[in-house]
Amino acid sequence: MAGSLNKVILIGNVGRDPEMRYLQSGEPLTTFSLATNRRWNTPDGQRREETEWHNIVAWGKLAEQCNEFLSKGRSVYIEGRLQTRSWEGPDGQKRYRTEIIANSMQMLDSRDQQRPREDGMGDEREAAPHDENIIDLEDTPF
């Protein structure tokens, strides 16, 4: 098999308001967490739920859009790729962090379902244009 593929598709809820900063080069960078849930029934009929937390990183124009339109609790569709960074901590131990480098974002809830941001920006922002190609959650097989 030739080539390889590194693609992640997530639908979940923003876990904290996005944080945007600018690199020395002037390029914007926005980070936020995204929660996805898995629900199942155990063999004895008990309902279980598990939440997985994802670290999302967006660059450039997408970083600005995520910062402007997303807030804690918003339902969002993210496409991107996995990337794992490593560094040495102050204690000399090697640390790792796996992130989703986003290349696409689509808000899935309506503007009136949006919670106000803790930084007070929620009321002043305009909703992003609606995309007719948005995925209907009722049509997903999972």
Residue ranges of the domains in the chain? 8-110
Question: What local confidence, expressed as pLDDT, does residue 116 receive?
Answer: 52
What is the rounded average pLDDT of the residues 95-114?
86
Provide CATH code, domain 8-110: 2.40.50.140
List, in order, residues 6 or more apart from 101 with CB less than 8 Å away: 57, 58, 59, 80, 81, 82, 83
Which CA distances in Å does 42 have to 20, 37, 102, 134?
Answer: 41, 16, 34, 33
User: What was the pLDDT predicted at 109?
Assistant: 85
* Confidence (pLDDT) at 125: 36
For the full predicted model, state whether its pTM sits above 0.85. no
